[in-house]
């Protein structure tokens, strides 16, 4: 597997203005994530890990510094250009799942493909394949409120894979799951990484969850203070 860099943060700062006060959330982070890596970003509340996730996921732009995705600096792109890059390159799995309750499981998984202008027949076929992959082929027409937490998580995984992204970004992915379902989810992420070659970036405050990654970047006060190589 190629080990060249897919995402690089180069001396990235993010400073929020609260009235007359400037609050730095990130203080000069430099981070390389290579294709096929499984990386955890870990830190306590207020450490800057959510802001770091926003940078890595092209959800926000830095105050200073550069962010490279496939060697292209995306730090100064417009929101519409960032949205297109996110749609093609990055799949998101959020702690709250962020499913749309008025849509069925099938329609939720189809949604990201709408924004990439995929034909309807292709969207339906792909969504059915993904829901079958996560063992939800019997729940295609169920709405999120008719699914368990673990089932909702699996719909969220299928949706994240809809456009076959190179990178999966998971934000506190086990925060709303019981321990058994959380372990199954981590096994699924490892499978995506090892067998499908997906680059996985996971934001967490949980040491046990982070230990499933190949390496952990530990944040404190907006800086990377330690890189931990994990044994899997």
pLDDT digits (tens, 9 = 90+) for 7-59: 999 999 999 998 999 999 999 999 999 999 999 999 998 899 989 999 999 88
pLDDT (0 to 100) of residue 71: 85
Confidence band for 83, pLDDT divided at 50, 70 and 90? confident
DSSP of 27-42: EEEEEEEETT-EEEEE
pLDDT (0 to 100) of residue 156: 92
pLDDT (0 to 100) of residue 99: 95
Q: Are 105 and 177 in contact (CB under 8 A)?
A: no
CATH superfamily label, 37-59+78-229: P-loop containing nucleotide triphosphate hydrolases (3.40.50.300)
Average per-residue pLDDT for the chain: 91
Report whether pLDDT(158) > 80: yes
pLDDT (0 to 100) of residue 97: 86
Distance of CA 94 to the CA centre of its chain: 7
Question: Higher-confidence residue: 88 or 159?
Answer: 159
Question: What are the sequence ranges of the domains in the chain?
Answer: 37-59+78-229
Phi, psi angle pair for 56, to nearest 5°? -60, -35
Q: In the predicted model, what is the mean pLDDT of residues 109-122?
A: 94
pLDDT (0 to 100) of residue 173: 83
Paired tokens of 175: 């925060």
pLDDT (0 to 100) of residue 3: 54
Phi, psi angle pair for 32, to nearest 5°? -110, 130
Report whether pLDDT(1) > 70: no
> Which of 117-121, 141-145, 181-185 comes out lowest in average pLDDT?
181-185
Alpha helices, DSSP H only, in the chain? 49-56, 79-89, 105-114, 120-133, 149-160, 179-194, 207-210
Per-residue pLDDT tens over the stretch 166-206: 999 999 888 777 888 788 888 889 999 999 999 999 999 88
Count of residues in the chain: 232
Q: In the predicted model, what is the mean pLDDT of residues 117-129?
A: 96
């Amino acid at each position: 597997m190629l080990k060249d860099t897919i995402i690089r943060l180069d001396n990235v700062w993010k400073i929020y203005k609260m009235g007359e006060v400037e609050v730095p959330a990130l203080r000069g982070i430099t981070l390389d994530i290579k294709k096929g890596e499984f990386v955890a970003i870990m830190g306590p509340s207020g450490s800057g890990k959510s802001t770091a996730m926003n940078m890595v996921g092209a959800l926000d732009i830095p105050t200073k510094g550069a962010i490279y995705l496939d060697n292209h600096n995306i730090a100064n792109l417009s929101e519409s250009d960032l949205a297109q890059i996110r749609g093609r390159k990055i799949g998101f799995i959020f702690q709250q799942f962020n499913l749309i309750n008025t849509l069925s499981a099938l329609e939720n998984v189809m949604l990201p493909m709408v924004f990439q202008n995929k034909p309807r027949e292709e969207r339906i076929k792909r969504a059915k394949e993904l829901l079958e992959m996560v063992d939800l082929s019997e729940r295609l027409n169920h709405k999120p409120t008719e699914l368990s937490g673990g089932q909702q998580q699996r719909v969220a995984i299928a949706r994240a894979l809809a456009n076959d992204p190179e990178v999966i970004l998971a934000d506190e992915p086990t925060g709303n799951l019981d321990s058994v379902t959380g372990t199954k989810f981590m096994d699924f992420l490892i499978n995506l990484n090892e067998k499908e070659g997906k680059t996985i970036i996971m934001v967490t405050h949980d040491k046990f969850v982070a230990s499933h990654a190949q390496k952990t970047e530990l944040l404190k006060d907006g800086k990377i203070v330690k890189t931990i190589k994990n044994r899997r």
